[in-house]
Amino acid sequence: MTVQTLQKPRIVLPELKDKVAVVTGAASGIGRATAVALAQQGMKVCLVDLKNERREQVKQQLADMKAEVMTADVDVSDPNRVHQAFDAAAKQWGRIDAVFANAGINGVLSPIEDMKPEDWDHTLFVNLKGTFLCVKHAIPHMKQNGGSIIITSSINGSRVFSNFGMSAYSTSKAGQVAFAKMAALELARYKIRVNVICPGSIKTNISENTHPTPELDKIKIPVKYPEGSQPLEHAPGQPEQVADLVAFLASDAASHITGTELFIDGAESLI
């Protein structure tokens, strides 16, 4: 099923109107679709990404929808830049109600014995430290009014450990699940909900940030199902399907949901 960006949202969540969201990895894929979905609900959206040209295209797309939008040129693994981005969004709009900590990379895919420590670090820095930094710097701006934080992990961080070469990625994604649960517990006192989503294969540009090493061929095993095969669709999911889940989690419709891992994978993780 192809799910396209519609002029009107598929689900209507009126309480999101005029609230403020920060979306990381907003220039592409799941982040981009989510920025559009939240803007369709009337949210003001801060687009965080290091891909400037694409980020500006998304900004234009939201501006064309008459949404209030700002951008931040940020590497999420850089503490100062993340701090500045959250402060800037809060200064612009007076509050932050929802954070989608979604920026991520597959990084270098390598057998463990050949993995360079700096490649391991890079994946962990972007995916895991980046998530920590976004949550840390969101808290001062959310603790007065409460809100919702959604973190993008993966089925590879929770249920699926069969993709060879992905030790750093899977470790970072598993870390995000543990971190989300700890954050949910700690931040409940501020009425900040924290949930983590685990997508299966989704059709995005993530292969641009995927770097298999030649050594990977040494350990590859034949896969039972072709990549992207999902029992429900027999095809990868669409970013817009993930965006609807994020909008729901951002809204009051999910007011009693926190500390939860939600799979959005068409049952891919069950095969």
Q: Which residues bind ligand NAD (CB under 6 A)?
A: 24-25, 27-31, 49-51, 74-77, 102-105, 126, 130, 152, 154, 199, 201-202, 204-206, 208-209
Least separation in angstroms between CB 186 and ligand NAD = 22
Catalytic (active site) residue 169: yes
CB 85 within 8 A of CB 22: yes
Least separation in angstroms between CB 148 and ligand NAD = 17
Least separation in angstroms between CB 171 and ligand NAD = 12
Which is the catalytic residue, given 169, 239, 249, 268?
Answer: 169
CB 71 within 8 A of CB 44: no
Task: At 166, list the tokens.
Answer: 């992905």
CA angle 43, 126, 245 (to 5 degrees): 35
Beta carbon nearer to ligand NAD, 131 or 258 = 131
CB 44 within 8 A of CB 67: yes
Least separation in angstroms between CB 15 and ligand NAD = 26
One-letter identity of residue 125: F
For 100, phi then psi, to 5°, come to -110, 100
Beta carbon nearer to ligand NAD, 190 or 248 = 248
From 139, 34, 131, 41, select the one nearest 95 (Cα to Cα).
Answer: 139
CB 150 within 8 A of CB 250: yes
Beta carbon nearer to ligand NAD, 78 or 114 = 78
Beta carbon nearer to ligand NAD, 43 or 246 = 246
Beta carbon nearer to ligand NAD, 27 or 142 = 27
Least separation in angstroms between CB 75 and ligand NAD = 4
List residues with catalytic annotation.
Answer: 169
